[in-house]
Amino acid sequence: MSSILDIHDVTVAYHRKPVLWDIDLTITQPCLAAVVGPNGAGKSTLIKSVLGLTPLASGSVTIFDRPVRQVRNRVGYVPQRESVDWDFPVTVLDVVLMGTYGRLGWFRRPGSSERKLARDCLAQVGMADYEARQIGQLSGGQQQRVFLARALAQQAEIYFMDEPLAGVDALTERVIFDLLTRLRKEGKTIIVVHHDLRTVPLYFDFVALMNVRLVASGPVEDTFTAENLRKTYGGRLALLDAAADALQVKVGP
């Protein structure tokens, strides 16, 4: 069976200490997937290793049954906001236009059609009025929406997002989830490093639970269980109780 994402036997180590160990994860159908686990579980490292930004100690990754380097124009990425140099002198529109570079190639400059696309993407995240602003002048939630618009401008088939909801306001959270849900309905696959267990059953249809190793993965209704959460978080009761409450709201008695 062909796969959208296939991670096979992936191990990543920093200074000989494994941060990911023997990860096997396959996605064969479009989904909105949450990657969850405690701090230090390797969630962000998993995303970076899939994208080729972090070297593998062992294993392999394919997207659409091909090496990542061969399908980069089909892949979108939203990094952690903390990893970006917000003092870089570019405007909001410039940032979103960067999302078109993968399809233009190195020797073409964005033209009128790319600018129209970038402005459409900004409108979709409610940032059309900010296109001339320097990116560092925006609030954290506004910056995150701009990076989401840049990912939209890539017109990808699979998106990787590293904690896009971290530190954002309630309005931005709603904008992001509405957009992710729309992308999912359009047949896209979205992989989201996520930290809020309470919202996993409400918004996602696939979940990967990990703590250095992959504890479990699959449809939320089958995988997001109290037993798997305990294996992942080591019995941190407050977190588990919140997750259990969310699951009850989702599925009912």
- How many structural domains does the chain have? 1
**Residue 237, domain member (yes or no):** yes
What is the token pair recorded at 50?
Answer: 């899939």
**Residue 103, domain member (yes or no):** no
Do 10 and 23 form a contact (C-beta atoms < 8 A)? Answer: yes
**Residue 90, domain member (yes or no):** no
**Residue 120, domain member (yes or no):** no
Domain extent for 199: 1-64+159-167+185-252
Q: Which of 145, 15, 160, 9 is nearest to 74 (CA)?
A: 160
**Residue 70, domain member (yes or no):** no
pLDDT band at 248 (very low <50, low <70, confident <90, very high): low
**Residue 15, domain member (yes or no):** yes
pLDDT given for residue 239 in this prediction: 52
**CA atoms within a 13 Å half-sphere pointing along the CA-CB vector of 191:** 30
Report pLDDT digits (tens) over 186-209: 999 999 999 889 899 999 999 999
Cα dihedral sign, 210-213-217-222: negative
**Is 50 exceeded by the pLDDT of residue 249?**
no
The CATH number of the domain where 29 resides is what? 3.40.50.300
**Residue 174, domain member (yes or no):** no
Report pLDDT digits (tens) over 209-237: 999 999 999 999 999 998 999 899 886 54
**Residue 135, domain member (yes or no):** no
**Angstrom distance (rounded) from CA 209 to CA 169:** 25
